[in-house]
A and B are shown apart, each in its own frame.
Chain A
Amino acid sequence: MIKKMVLLTLGGRKFSLSVEQIEHVLPRQRIYPLVCLRPEIAGVFLYNDEPIPMLALPTLPEFNISEPVIVGAYIIVVQSEYGNIGLSVDSAVSIVDVEDGSFEDVTPSESDVQGCHVFNFQDVSYPLLNVGEILARLPY
């Protein structure tokens, strides 16, 4: 089976994400605040009647997203070893074959996304969102 990548934009910036990590793509959901959340969590939304944390990517310094987008047009429910988590996406999602693009390692000086791998597709670079790494780096 040919692996797929999802190409998306968040805060006006392009990213890529492996389809294997995606549980579901939802239209915009209401985000509910709770108490004592870490700043990297914007709140929770309900998915299958379960509260799912919403990752506030713009608060992560390595993403350097100036536009304070917390809730875009879609929410991607991503699987992780910490449980499902939501990512807000502000553009229609496109899905492409991995074989139609290429992966590349990029040094931190070449990209403001830490430890970055990039998926190149049709001469456009999409930094790879590794949600597991992002969550592992959160201060606990």
Chain B
Amino acid sequence: MIDSEGKRVVFRIADIGFSLAVDVLIETREADGVEIDKSTADLNRGLLGQILFRDAAVPLWDVRHLLDLPYADDDKVLVFVFGTDGVWAFLIEIVVGVVLAVDFQRCDVPVLLLTRDRQPFTSIDVWHNEPLVCFEPALVERFMVQV
């Protein structure tokens, strides 16, 4: 068994770099050909619908909508993560790689970047002279309006 502890996946959405702990990542896969059940979609909330994952339907969320990123039809990779109440999926542009956590420099978020209400990230990873948003599913879930 490969020890994934301490590794992070680097990916991009809207030219912004993100890092995600492998521990909360379940799987990434090409989005082409994946059928989306749009009967449950609610685009005003950023819910694109549901997709099948290991014989179960899981919600597919539009992270661009949730995090107020510009819309583009460039997201070709599905990412499945462990959320607070179960698995959910989202689309990204590209997986850059899997990186050892020790290769990142973890930084606090500068005070001026903090918002009073919902903060979508609490750390920044610097990797190859690029600041990456630490993607934390539990924090992103705060932007999902439930009905």
Contacts and interface: CB of A to CB of B under 8 A. Distances in A.
Interface stretch (B34-42, B48-56, B75-83, B128-136): B128-136
Interface stretch (B1-9, B21-29, B108-116): B108-116
Contact of B69 (A35, A49, A50, A140): A35
Nearest to A84: B110
Contacts of A53: 110, 112-113
B67 A35 contact: yes
Interface in A106-140: 135, 138, 140
A135 B69 CA distance: 24
Interface stretch (A38-46, A58-66, A87-95): A38-46
Contacts of B110: 44, 51-53, 82-84
B68 interface: yes
A134 to B, nearest CB: 11
A85 interface: yes
B16 A34 contact: yes
Interface string A11-53: 0000000000000000000001111111001001010011111
Contact of A44 (B15, B67, B68, B131): B131
Interface in B102-126: 105, 107, 109-113, 115-116, 119-121, 124, 126
Interface residues of B, number: 25
Interface residues of A, number: 22
Given A34-B133, A44-B131, A82 B111 contact: yes
A41 B67 CA distance: 16
Q: Is the interface of A mostly helix, strand, loop or mixed?
A: loop
A40 to B, nearest CB: 9
B112 A51 contact: no
Contacts of A50: 107, 126
A33 B131 CA distance: 9
Contacts of A36: 67-68, 115, 119-120
Interface of A: 32-38, 41, 44, 46, 49-53, 82-85, 135, 138, 140
20 contacts: A32-B17, A32-B130, A34-B121, A34-B124, A35-B68, A35-B121, A36-B115, A37-B113, A44-B131, A46-B130, A49-B107, A50-B107, A50-B126, A51-B107, A51-B126, A51-B131, A82-B110, A83-B112, A85-B112, A140-B116
Interface of B: 14-17, 67-69, 105, 107, 109-113, 115-116, 119-121, 124, 126, 129-131, 133
10 nearest A-B pairs in the assembled complex, by CB-CB distance: A35-B67, A53-B112, A51-B131, A82-B111, A51-B124, A82-B112, A53-B110, A32-B131, A36-B120, A83-B111
